[in-house]
Amino acid sequence: MYPTPLSFLGPLGGKRILICGIGVESVAFTLAGADVYGFGGSLSQVEAVKDLARGLALRDRIHLQTGTMYQLAYPDRFFDLAFGKTVPENADLESGVRELGRVLKPGGRAAFVLPTDGSLQETVRRVFGSAVLGECWIGVEKSWDEPKESPNLNKACLSM
């Protein structure tokens, strides 16, 4: 149904996207029309991508910082989309994925590139309720608006 994480996310033009673990793809998403926000653990990586964006006159549409997924400095329901490609070892995945759920708008989608047998896949399914599985990626859609107590937050989401 969706051959790639980008096909799952859909058109990027006019969307606000959160990049978890930034790299040069942040610039590509900006060139595709998205307003890009992102974070990464390496100051040198963040600065390198900012420099690249500045050189391409994209700096006003790309907002990057060092940080982690556990306490995102964005308001609730801020992002239309999210994309992640790195998962730190020994990470508190549950807290990070719940924080992602907080900042995604209802109907917002997230795609993560990851090993098919990883613990992130299990955590994402537990928090979002169900997921679309691709070859080495997983996609989810937020279908609720208010925070829920239940670990299975998404009762009517996407299925394979």
Confidence of residue 117 (pLDDT cuts 50, 70, 90): low
Name the least confident of 22-26, 35-39, 126-130. 126-130
**Whole-angstrom distance, CA of residue 22 vs CA of residue 151:** 28
Between these two residues, 127 and 56, which has the higher pLDDT value? Answer: 56
Between these two residues, 150 and 145, which has the higher pLDDT value? Answer: 145
Output the six-digit token pair for 119: 């613990």
The amino acid that residue 97 corresponds to is V
- 9 pLDDT more than 70: yes
- 102 pLDDT more than 80: yes
Cα torsion angle, 140, 144, 146, 148, sign: negative
Q: Convert the pLDDT of each residue in 25-48 to its tens digit.
A: 999 999 999 999 999 889 999 999
pLDDT of residue 85: 82
Can you give the C-alpha Rg of the chain in angstroms? 15
pLDDT of residue 159: 30
In order, the DSSP letters of 47-115 are HHHHHHHHHTT-GGGEEEEE--SSS--S-TT-EEEEEE----TT--HHHHHHHHHHHEEEEEEEEEE--
pTM of the model: 0.85
CATH level 2 (architecture), domain 5-141:
3-Layer(aba) Sandwich (3.40)
Q: Convert the pLDDT of each residue in 42-95 to its tens digit.
A: 999 999 999 999 999 999 999 999 988 888 889 999 999 999 886 665 567 778
Residue with tokens 């329901």: 77
| Domain definitions of the chain by residue range | 5-141
Average pLDDT, the chain: 83
